[in-house]
Amino acid sequence: MPSLKSKPVAASAIEKHVYKVFPNDMNSHNTVFGGMIMAKCDRLALVVAERHSAHVCVTAAVDSIHFRAPAKGNDTLLFNLSLNRSWGSSMEIGARVEAENSYTGEVRHILSAFFTFVALDEEGKPVDVPEAVPETDEQKRRFDNAEIRRKGRLQTREKLSGRTGQ
């Protein structure tokens, strides 16, 4: 049985995961297809959640996806993901994607997003996860902000519960 001891944010973080853009990654506008970037973020955020929880996890919600600038052919994408905070069985993971022009060294901010994952036990039921321990000032700021976003998510969920077609 995994221990529920707290874990530092750094223990599960992914920094500068490299993905080299090729022509098959482009959309009709000749910039990098956003769905590919989102799917890669979801997959990497899952790794952060499973490292932290030591359980199988599923995506419960994704919010505040902002495409800040287009990525272009020949760019190198750098994926940064880390746990912002955990509660009972749920965890918020922040994603930040940058595009590097590897010839000039220029780096641009491409995407930010927040993923909520839920850890599941062997029967597929939500199971509690370790607390996240933020250590740096940046991690502490994200830890505090995550609580504000969670309140918003749970309020929305509450308002929509019982309604059909949502």
Ligand X SMILES: CC(C)(COP(=O)(O)OP(=O)(O)OC[C@H]1O[C@@H](n2cnc3c(N)ncnc32)[C@H](O)[C@@H]1OP(=O)(O)O)[C@@H](O)C(=O)NCCC(=O)NCCS
- The site for ligand X (CB under 6 A) is made up of 58-61, 87-90, 116, 118, 126, 153-154, 157
The least CB distance from residue 105 to ligand X, in Å, is: 36
Indicate the residue type of 128: D
Q: Which of 31, 90 has the CB closer to ligand X?
A: 90
Give the CB-nearest residue to ligand X: 88
Helix (H) or strand (E) holding 39: helix 34-53
The backbone torsions φ and ψ at residue 142, rounded to the nearest 5 degrees and listed phi first, read -65, -35
Q: Which of 19, 115 has the CB closer to ligand X?
A: 115
The least CB distance from residue 58 to ligand X, in Å, is: 4
The least CB distance from residue 82 to ligand X, in Å, is: 18
- Cβ-in-10-Å burial (0-12, 13-18, 19+) of 12 comes to buried
Q: Which of 61, 78 has the CB closer to ligand X?
A: 61
Helix (H) or strand (E) holding 118: strand 107-120
